[in-house]
Structure 1
Amino acid sequence: MKKILLILLLVIVLPFFYLIVTNYNNIPKLDENVKEKWSQVQNQYKRRADLIPNLVETVKAYAEHEKSTFVEVTEARSKVSAININENTLNNPALLQQFDSAQAGLSSALSKLMVVVEKYPELKANQNFQALQSQLEGTENRISVARKDFIEAVKLYNLELRTMPGKLVAAIVHPEAELKETFTASPTEQEAPKVKF
């Protein structure tokens, strides 16, 4: 009887224990990776928000009568700044969507500002404006990369929670672990631009 219990222990319990021990840290590591990637997204959005006042002031000097566009950009930036974002945002789909919507509004307002710029060739030739526009374009690219990295980190985390052995380990030693939300494109972002000639 002792031999049978020992064999059962070796065949069933030991592999189960090994599975738990070897995969115990995967979920916390992946969770921290998601938080780090989210911080990078926030960092790039902050960089963009910091560039906007300088860009608006430069354009204002050339196009004073385009006041409504400046107001729209300033209000969109204020909405983005008003949303308090932290790591708990990742567990709150409604707040994540609110943040994403505010960022989309800011992107839309910036697009309108760039349309204003097209009307003023002398502004487009201004070195300060060119430098700010280049920084803004670079920041938009960084935002895109940071969002892509965040989406990938969320995917890996969620896969760990939904597949074996991660699902089993999470149920036993990390019951607080929940699937995380990621970015989704709004209906307006999914529409193809209308081209008129």
Structure 2
Amino acid sequence: MKFRAVIMLAIAATLSACGVNSVPTAEEAAKARWADVQAAYQRRADTIPNIVATVKGSAASEGKILTDVVNARANATKVQINAGDLTDPAKVASFQQAQGALGASLGRLLATVEAYPTLQSQANFQALIREIEGSNNRINIAIRDYNTSVQAYNTKIRTFPDAIGAKIVYGAKPMVPFQAAPGADANPTIDFGNSN
């Protein structure tokens, strides 16, 4: 009887040191952070129609930029990724590309606003600009938190002793961190001469 108890304790100790509990905990934390990234992007997408409506009222001549923003928002909301897709680099890259296009369109919109001092002075527009800035800050924080969780998970499934449970019990695969879009490190070019 004592021998069985000792064996059971040894098995329990061995399993607890092999990532049986820590691997799924780390995986779920990373998935939760991904949900935060999606929520931050959704918040920004929900704010855009209000911004577009406000800008249309004051800068109707810049219709192409507004159309680009609306189209980019539509494309960004079409690309969906769920927690099960976080190990697929192509799906994560597709999501990032769509969100990057939306961010670039918003950048052009904000640059256009800089050219219209009367538009800048409108209280409603100023409030909406603060909303966009707040949304972008939330997105950046959510991405940082997601990448931190992915790093912790990926490290856990690759280090001893958790790697044993990760491979044998769960068949764990590394998750894909969120990366900046190509060219994100370059300064944007703003040209007010031609709005084609």
After TM superposition, the score normalised by the length of structure 1 is 0.87
Q: Which residue of structure 1 aligns with residue 160 of structure 2?
A: 164
| 1:133 pairs with 2:129 | yes
Q: 1:63 to 1:194 in 2, by over 3 A?
A: closer
Equivalent residue pairs, number: 186
Conserved 8 A contact 2:89-2:176: yes
Encode CA deviations 1:78-104: one digit per residue, 9 max, x unaligned: 101111222122122111101100111
Conserved 8 A contact 1:19-1:165: no
Conserved 8 A contact 2:113-2:120: yes
| 1:186 pairs with 2:191 | no
Stretches of structure 2 lacking an aligned partner (at least 5 in a row): 192-196
Stretches of structure 1 lacking an aligned partner (at least 5 in a row): 1-5
> Of Structure 1 and Structure 2, which has the larger fraction of its residues in helix?
1
AA in 2 matched with 1:185 = A
Residue correspondence of structure 1 range 76-95 to structure 2 within 5 A? 76-95=72-91
Structure 1 runs of 4+ aligned residues shifted over 6 Å read none
Greater Rg, structure 1 or structure 2? Answer: 1
Please give the alpha-carbon distance, in whole angstroms, between the structure 2 residues aligned to 1:192 and 1:68. Answer: 22
1:76 deviates by: 0.4
- Range with greater deviation from structure 2 (123-132 or 84-93): 84-93
After TM superposition, the score normalised by the length of structure 2 is 0.87
Residue correspondence of structure 1 range 52-131 to structure 2 within 5 A? 52-131=48-127
CA RMSD of aligned residues (A): 2.2
1:18 deviates by: 1.5
Q: Which residue of structure 2 aligns with residue 148 of structure 1?
A: 144
Please give the alpha-carbon distance, in whole angstroms, between the structure 2 residues aligned to 1:146 and 1:134. Answer: 18
